[in-house]
Amino acid sequence: MIRVTRKYRFSASHRLHAAGLSDVENAGLYGKCNNPYGHGHDYEIEVSARGPLEPRSGRAIDPAALDRLVEEQVLRPFDHKYLNTESAAFQKTVPTTENLAREIYTRLQASWNSVFPGPWPLLDKVRIAETPRNIFEVSETHG
């Protein structure tokens, strides 16, 4: 079994603010990330897939096909967007990077079989770095 990981980058902004909490509670919970004007990140994501080597090509995954899927499902919808208002996924969900990672994984998984119709490769995990110190990972067993 081979795991292949591809890296991608996009920039987006967000404000961490939960509708069910007061302004004081939000400020206490999210600190500077609750800035009313939002703030941005240059996200780096890693998308990992796994599978056996395909005998004819000697590869476990077609990287160009994965690149097209990530472009369609991740980069176009999120790059240079204010996630709170420009993404339907975050209209009612706080756009934490944890939630962003889950959303990216869900989007890729939902379209995976249309790009990779056979039993292999499988989407293994999505890893997203918000900053050099804040890194989040979602795997196939997320709930």
130 is catalytic: yes
Catalytic residue among 17, 33, 41, 103: 33
pLDDT band per the 50, 70, 90 thresholds, residue 141? low
- Cβ atoms within 10 A of the Cβ of 16, count? 20
41 is catalytic: no
* Confidence (pTM): 0.94
Catalytic residue among 17, 41, 103, 130: 130
Residue 45's Cβ-count burial label (10 Å; 0-12, 13-18, 19+) is buried
Catalytic residue among 25, 39, 71, 80: 80
pLDDT digits 0-9 by tens, 80-137:
999 999 999 999 999 999 999 999 999 999 999 999 999 999 999 999 999 999 999 9
80 is catalytic: yes
